[in-house]
Amino acid sequence: MNLKSVLKRRLPKPVVRAIRNYRHARKIAALSVTPPPGLLGRLVGIPRCAEAALDLAEGRSGTEERANPSCPAASRVGSVAVGAGAGADPYVVRGDIYLGGPYKGAPISLAVVVPAVAGPFDLGTVLVRTPLRVNLETGQIGVESDAIPSVLEGVSLDVRSITVKLDRPDFTLNPTRCTPMATRLSVTSLAGVTALAEDPFQVFGCGKLGFRPKISMRLLGSSRRRGHPALRTVMTLPEGNANLARVTVTLPPTQFLDNAHLRGICTRPQFAAGTCPAGTAYGYARALSPLLPNPLEGPVYMRSSTQRLPNLVAELNGEVRIAVAGHVGTADGGIRVNVKDLPDAAVSRFVMQMQGGERGLLQNSVDVCRHLQRARVALEAQNGMVTVARPRLRVSCPGPRATRPGP
């Protein structure tokens, strides 16, 4: 006679239910992790494990998978050790973590592949997919696993511990700000009980990082008074610098916002869903990062806000989707765009070009070839360093006007 039958025969049902719930509450069914902002992975040079390879792994025996992994070694980013079984000393099985492609709406994912071999017992291969979701505004990563199996080949599992190591060389990258942060964890048991935990996280030495951004600005198209020029802005940051946290651009009074050309505004729900009408785009932006194999790029919209003027928002798409939002206002007689709370992520080059002509929002108050001006750009790094640039608004002028210097 086993314990289960004894409990059923000799104890009241509420007691049996309580014991069963207690046992299930100790078994891990799913977990989610939110790393600190700025703790990111370098995706350059890492191939994805294909869906076909993951399907193959899930259908193989643990012995086959362990001897000949389905995913290429080049896509491996870490390892996992799973402790399962009753008693004070659970049996530990080990597996690998691979970089996967899009999954459940997330742009990238992790695939945890564990050959479930315990001595002479082979229970197959366990595959747990984990989508990596990227916060649209902050760039912070959220990790939420699929359900962790509780039964394999009719054998009940008692998953007691999970140890994850992302140990691929040069994969993880620290934040560039030293303020105290935390890693947040949510663990759900088979009984549906969720426990929350938080582990302090802080890096040091951020103040020693350099911060030497360079910025250039150019007006393209009409230079005449009442003309509508395009504006091209280029910012570069050397690799190894602290990442950008905030930038405020103030244009000279020679440029003002022509409300008559503001023909459409994207709503916040439309932007979140990625369904902004084409008519609400007034420019284009492109960002290069040493973390990503390809640039992020996309339209620049005017998006509704709670302020008097709409926000200027660049929707950057690629391996991930990120929004760079700036509040539009005025200062010192000119247009000011304030972009704050930027993701703590390395960007080597950022280019934004606002449209001119009939779609141009900027209008010249003077002939800019005769009254060249400088913008004011204040930049703040994640480590608190601040620098102020005064780039001249360069203009391509015909004839002798092109030789007139800016102030």
Q: Provide the pLDDT for residue 311.
A: 94
**Strands 334-339 and 349-354, sheet pairing:** unpaired
Question: In the chain, what percentage of residues exceed pLDDT 90?
Answer: 62
- Does 193 or 165 have the greater pLDDT score? 165
> Has residue 373 got a pLDDT over 90?
no
Q: Provide the pLDDT for residue 87.
A: 64
Q: Provide the pLDDT for residue 231.
A: 96
In which band, very low, low, confident or very high, does the pLDDT at 156 lie, cut at 50, 70 and 90?
Answer: low
- Does 233 or 88 have the greater pLDDT score? 233
Long-range contacts made by residues 43-46, C-beta under 8 angstroms, separation at least 24? 43/99, 43/108, 43/291, 43/292, 43/293, 43/319, 44/290, 44/291, 44/292, 44/293, 45/293, 46/74, 46/75, 46/77, 46/99, 46/168, 46/171
- Does 18 or 29 have the greater pLDDT score? 29
**Global confidence as pTM:** 0.84
Cα–Cα separations (whole angstroms), residue 264 to 55, 267, 300, 301: 46, 10, 12, 9
Residue 123 and residue 114: Cα distance in Å, rounded?
A: 10
In the chain, the amino acid numbered 204 is: F
Ordered by where they begin, the domains of the chain are 3-204 (no CATH), 207-395 (2.60.40)
- Does 220 or 150 have the greater pLDDT score? 220
> What is the tens place of the pLDDT at every residue in 293-303?
999 999 999 99
The residue to which tokens 């951020």 are assigned:
206
- Does 153 or 221 have the greater pLDDT score? 221
Hey, how many other C-beta atoms are within 10 angstroms of the C-beta on 182?
Answer: 14
Q: Provide the pLDDT for residue 53.
A: 96
